[in-house]
Structure 1
Amino acid sequence: MTKDSNILCIGSVLWDVIGRSPSHMAKGADVPGRIIRIPGGVALNIAMTLVRFGLTPALLSAVGRDAEGEELISECHHMGLITDHVYRSDDLPTDCYMAVEGANGLIAAIADAHSLEKAGAKILQALYDGRLGKADAPYSGLIALDGNLTERLLDDIANDPAFQSADLRIAPASPGKAERLLPFLRSGRGTLYVNLEEAGILCHTRFSTSEEAGQALLSKGAARALVTNGGEATTDAHPDGLITLPPPEVLVTRVTGAGDTFMAAHIAAEFNDADRTSALAQALDAAAKFVSGDTPS
């Protein structure tokens, strides 16, 4: 490696194809707008934001050796990300995410992360073979982990000694994959970054506030949880106490990637020794700037 990383980002690295329209959209809507293709995936979104905050992330993921994969790896290099440990497959195509957004928010999305799921534990090899860690010297730094991995692999990670010394930061990727994080509740390991809906799925109930959800996640075994609630207050739930802050009021122009931006900004703030209140405020400010279009997508 030509440079050292100070955080690992494990999970989806793919192309985002996003259609955005300024119109309010209902089921079956056919409206004018813009369609873009940009590097994405939860792990990559977090990594790209971490770079903006001065960190040097290394990616652990699966990317095909197809034309889309070669282009994606090139883009990652250009952004200053370390890709030395990315699993490159000749047989698996590069994954893709497709979303449609209107003035009323996210209308629909489909995440095709089948290659990442099929690659499985192969993406983690560097944590066992001595490049990043090994059995008698497990990796002890920051890890941002996303729920696009299979439920079985996430369960293994939640209980694997190879991760016992790491500072694990975990996101579910989407409400549809929130239950994949249940092993981290059972093991009491890691910091969870979830929205109100995802917190409800993990606790098998519905919540009206992030504070209520954060307290419930702690009761279920979470070591720590950050619970967002759109334009409403966000809570950092920790055994030492709950901190709840409102996000800045902004005009929302995009939503895909907002949660990843919040998580990355929070990690970066704590990496730079911000206290819990300051870190939460900085993360909310970064997410607000993102959804308003004031930062790059």
Structure 2
Amino acid sequence: MRAGADMPGRIERLPGGVAMNIAMTLRRFGLRPAILTALGRDSQGSDLIRAAEVLGIDCSYLYRSDDLPTDRYMAIEGANGLIAAIADAHSLEAAGDKILTPLSDGRLGSESAPWAGPIALDGNLTEALLSQIARSPLFAKSDLRVAPASPGKAERLMPLLGDGKATLYLNLEEAGILCQRNFESAAEAASDLLERGARRVLVTDGGKAAADGCAASGGVISAAPPAVLVTRVTGAGDTFMAAHLVAEQRDATREEALDRALRAAARYVSGELAT
């Protein structure tokens, strides 16, 4: 598809976004996630809440703004994968730390009794808020799992790179942007990120081998995803992250968790639901 092209196709409107994609996958694995985000008091926000609640996702802690619209994301995909995408996350950025209120007011935690479970963090947040999260006592006991929303926002994760408590999920391009260099493989990228202070990092590379780098557990391991016919790509990384989180919650080894996450992502891009 060339610039300026006008092509026939199909347009679908689906509930999504990084956090929503992760939450939907967690539900398919039997967990009951809660969403912390910002939505407008518009029809799009109401539709998204209804869709999430039908799926069993807890929306009781999200922030609804009276003056900000619900954010949207548009992806154009072809037979050769993702052609282009536009992420309008301006409302989430403007809401700032309002979305974190349930973690501080006692509903989910407080500074004296911080949330001690897993948190999947969406990289659409501003760099200032991510820096705040890296230092905040509200996240001192959490199992923090972080994914950049896109390669264009990968640099926002820099404050979390050496904080010692976050697990980063990146694709090869995002890893290269974060390290400001090109990598030949996911294993090379994971190794470099560990040297730069990362505690734990997962790096994927499409249909090629992915890597899990852990400073405390023997460095870098790799595994290749199963070969499948690709029918969609948007949301594959979110599916990988959610499946990996679930596997580790169920006491899988590093090797088992990486394999299960790769298989779940492969099923997703082939058009199946990740289970």
Give TM class, smaller chain: over 0.9
**Does the CA contact (< 8 Å) of 2:143 and 2:165 recur in 1?**
no
Aligned-partner SS, 1:168 = strand
Separation in structure 2 between the aligned mates of residue 31 and residue 74 of structure 1, nearest angstrom: 32
Aligned to 1:267: 245
Counterpart mapping for 1:1-297 below 5 A: 25-239=1-215, 240=217, 241-295=219-273
Q: Which amino acid aligns with 2:134?
A: A
Q: Which runs of 5+ in 2 are unaligned?
A: none
**How far is 1:159 from its partner?**
1.0
Deviation at 1:30, TM superposition (A): 2.4
Distance in 2, matches of 1:84 and 1:185, equals: 31
Q: What's the secondary structure of 2:212's corresponding residue?
A: strand
| Structure 1 letter corresponding to 2:243 | A
Shift of 1:31: 2.2
Which amino acid is 1:244 matched to? S
Q: What is the distance in 1 between the residues matched to 2:138 and 2:100?
A: 10
TM-score (structure 1 length as normaliser): 0.90
1:17 alignment counterpart: none
Query: Partners in 2 of 1:199 and 1:251 — Cα distance?
Result: 25
Work out the CA distance in 1 between the residues paired with 2:109 and 2:38.
19
- How many aligned positions are there? 272
Q: Which amino acid in 1 is paired with 2:249?
A: F
Q: Distance in 1 between matches of 2:43 and 2:21?
A: 21
Q: Secondary structure at the match of 1:169?
A: strand
Taking the aligned partners of 1:283 and 1:206, their CA distance within structure 2 comes to 25
Q: Deviations over 1:186-243 (max 9, x none)?
A: 3222100000010011111010100000000001111000000011100000122211
Superposition deviation, residue 27 in structure 1: 2.9
Q: Which amino acid aligns with 1:115?
A: S
With normalisation by structure 2, the TM-score equals 0.97
Q: Which amino acid aligns with 2:273?
A: T
Which sections of structure 1, spanning at least 5 residues, go unmatched? 1-24
2:187, 2:66 → 1: CA distance?
46
Moved over 6 A (4+): none
Report deviation, 1:124: 0.3
Does structure 1 conserve the Cα–Cα contact (< 8 Å) formed by 2:239 and 2:265? yes
Quote how far apart the aligned CAs of 1:182 are.
0.3
SS in 2 for 1:111: strand
Shift of 1:104: 1.3
Structure 2: how far apart are the matches of 1:235 and 1:30? 39
Contact 2:24/2:55 (CA < 8 Å) preserved in 1?
yes
List per-residue Cα deviations over 1:91-119 (Å, max 9, x = no partner): 11111001101111111100001110110
SS in 2 for 1:36: coil
CA distance in 2 between counterparts of 1:269 and 1:185 reads: 23
